[in-house]
């Protein structure tokens, strides 16, 4: 990382904020409430409404991935045992 400020010993530490889908969804719905209704500002309303729905979909996909990981973890011992038996 030559030339990067992060490589310098005096570089300020940056705080990294990781946004997850639940936080994003809450922010988008919060922005949606601040904008007003779709009659007064339809472009921004549609933008934040679409982003909120997208964040909901991402959250649902995250939840389904976690369920699949749990199922794989439950099946892993059975797969290993059947591999040893053959």
Gyration radius of the chain over CA positions: 22
- 1 pLDDT tier (thresholds 50, 70, 90): very low
Name 37's Cβ contacts closer than 8 Å, sequence gap at least 6.
45
Cβ neighbours of residue 61 closer than 8 Å, sequence gap 6 or more = none
Top pLDDT among 53 and 2 is at 53
Predicted pLDDT of residue 6 = 54
Domains of the chain, by residue range, sit at 20-85
pLDDT at 68: 95
Using the predicted structure, report yes or no on whether residue 11 has a pLDDT greater than 80. no
């Amino acid at each position: 990382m030559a030339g990067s400020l992060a490589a310098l010993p005096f570089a300020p530490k940056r705080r990294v904020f990781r946004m997850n889908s639940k936080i994003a969804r809450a922010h988008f719905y919060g922005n949606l409430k601040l904008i007003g209704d779709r009659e007064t500002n339809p472009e921004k309303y549609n933008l934040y409404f679409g982003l909120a729905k997208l964040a909901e979909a991402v959250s649902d996909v995250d939840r389904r991935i976690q369920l699949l990981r749990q199922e794989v973890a439950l099946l892993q011992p059975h797969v290993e045992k059947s591999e040893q038996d053959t």
